[in-house]
Structures are given as C-alpha cells and as structure tokens.
Amino acid sequence: MRQQIAAANWKMNLTLDQATRLLDEIVASPHHLQAHQKVILAVPFPYLALAKAKLSGKPNFFVAAQNCHTQSSGAFTGETSAEMLRSVGVEYVILGHSERREYFGESNAVLEEKVGMALTYGLTPVFCCGESLPVREAGTQNEYVENQLKESLFNLSEEQFLKLVIAYEPIWAIGTGKTASAAQAQEMHAHLRKVIAGRYGSGVADQIPVLYGGSVKGNNATELFSQPDVDGGLVGGASLVASDFEKIIEALK
C-alpha cells in the first residue's frame, strides 16, 4: 500500500512561543494513524530540534526542513547543509518549493544538486513541482511539470528515486484560497505517474507518494485525498492552526 502523508509547511511563520504551543497542541491530539499514514512537519530551521524533541513519542510523525544547500559544508554564510539537518535528526527536506524557485532563483539544475545532497545524507526529499497560472492558461502544464521532474530527478537511479516524495503544487493555488479541483489534481497526478512509469517503470510509479498542495483545507482535503493518485497533501496556511491541520490528518485514506 502506498504511503499517505499529511505534510505541514510552516514557511517563515511563528515565533518560538507560538511554535511551541502549536507543537504541544499537535502532540496532545489523539491520532489514529495506520502504518502507511505519516505526518511530516516542515518547520523553520530554529525549531527543528524542538520539533524533534516534541514529536519523539509520536510514531508516524516526522520532522522536515524547508530547504538545504547544494554543498555539505563550507564558506556559505547563512546556509544550512543536508549533513547538518541529518545530525539534528531531521528526516525529510522540502526541495523545489515554488517560493524557493521564484524568490531565490532555484533552477531545475540547482534542485538536482540539492536532491542528490539530501539523498547522500539520508534525508527524504519532498520534491515540489507545479505550474504558474499563465502556463495553465496556455494549456501546457503537463509538459511544464514533466520537464521539472526530468531535469531535476530523472538522472537518479531507481533505488534513489524510490526514496522520494513528490508534491504537485500549482502556483495559482498556493495561498490564494483557489484549490485545484479534485479532478484537476487527479489528472496531473495521473500524468506524473505516467511520466515516472515511462522512465522507471510502472512498479516504481505505483509506489511513489504524490501529494497535492495549494489551499488544502479541512473542508476540501477529503475530496482531494479520495482521488486514486492523490496520496495526501502539502499544507501551508491550514497547518498553522492545530484544529485545521487535525482535520487534514483525519482526511488521509
């Protein structure tokens, strides 16, 4: 059975007090997760060790960083390496989020390096892809997203590729309240699986978790997650309120 994942992306939000409170609320909630269901919290760098400690008694809960550098150490002021993340017990790292691509100029080539570095240090990349509104309006979203995968991921070996989590996040749906319809999400997820099958075979394509992101909320998660190729969500805004995020966790199939 494929993994089902509710991933929280806190982005650059919350002070230490607020982060502590939210983590305590999440830890205190009863969860009835099955073996194939996971919750991943991508918190800002200063709270990674705190999140690790708070979640230590919660099986199926994992901590993610929101970025890492292409190198493992060196004179890169202000950067954080995959090796450092691993050393504080982080298990996942979001790579290729559209905000990183847009505001920090991360290209498919740079992301290929980051994915390689994350895998070298035993981190699981949550690799984000997704098209902008003009691309969607031009009807070329399938080719666009396919190209993101090809350029950043398709030099990986099958064994490496099987370690990934993919997140499809149409940029026009992020933080806008405009969710892709369940049918739009399913269509793209099925397309991604077809492209992956073309490169690695259908056995690999069937195993890779593909999450949907972009205005996932408590009231639309069930419909989105019920699509056959949608394996959960990457959640921004709604992950900052414990009760909202709980509803999304409960919507995992």
Find the catalytic residue in 112, 131, 146, 169. Answer: 169
Q: Is 129 in the site for ligand PGA (CB under 6 A)?
A: no
Which of 62, 236, 245, 251 forms a contact with ligand PGA (CB under 6 A)? 236
Residue holding tokens 């414990």? 242
- Which window, 75-83, 112-120, 168-176, 182-190, contacts ligand PGA (CB under 6 A)? 168-176
For 94, the enclosing helix (H) or strand (E) is strand 92-95
Which of 106, 112, 169, 229 forms a contact with ligand PGA (CB under 6 A)? 169
- Which window, 58-66, 110-118, 213-221, 243-251, contacts ligand PGA (CB under 6 A)? 213-221
- Residues 66, 70, 71, 76, CA torsion sign: negative
Closest distance between ligand PGA and the C-beta of residue 48, in Å? 18
When the beta carbons of 125 and 214 are compared against ligand PGA, the nearer one is 214
When the beta carbons of 122 and 175 are compared against ligand PGA, the nearer one is 175
Which of 196, 216, 224, 248 forms a contact with ligand PGA (CB under 6 A)? 216
Residues binding ligand PGA: what is the number (CB under 6 A)? 13
Q: How far apart are CA 141 and CA 139, in angstroms?
A: 6
**Subset of residues 5 to 64 that bind ligand PGA, contact rule: CB under 6 A:** 9
Q: How far apart are CA 232 and CA 4, in angstroms?
A: 5
- Cβ neighbourhood burial of 59 (10 Å; 0-12, 13-18, 19+): exposed
Contact, 118 vs 95, CB < 8 A?
Answer: yes
Amino acid identity of 189?
Answer: H
Q: Is 174 in the site for ligand PGA (CB under 6 A)?
A: yes
Q: Is 214 in the site for ligand PGA (CB under 6 A)?
A: yes
Contact, 66 vs 40, CB < 8 A?
Answer: no
When the beta carbons of 96 and 214 are compared against ligand PGA, the nearer one is 214
Q: How far apart are CA 227 and CA 249, in angstroms?
A: 16
Find the catalytic residue in 97, 106, 131, 189. Answer: 97
Q: Is 117 in the site for ligand PGA (CB under 6 A)?
A: no
Strand 37-42 and strand 4-9: the pairing is parallel
**Helix (H) and strand (E) counts in the chain:** 12, 8
User: Is residue 106 flagged as an active site residue?
Assistant: no
Contact, 142 vs 188, CB < 8 A?
Answer: yes
Residue holding tokens 């933080």? 175
- Give the nearest residue (CB) to ligand PGA: 236
Which residue ranges make up the site for ligand PGA (CB under 6 A)? 9, 169, 174-175, 213-216, 234-238
Residues with a catalytic annotation lie at: 97, 169
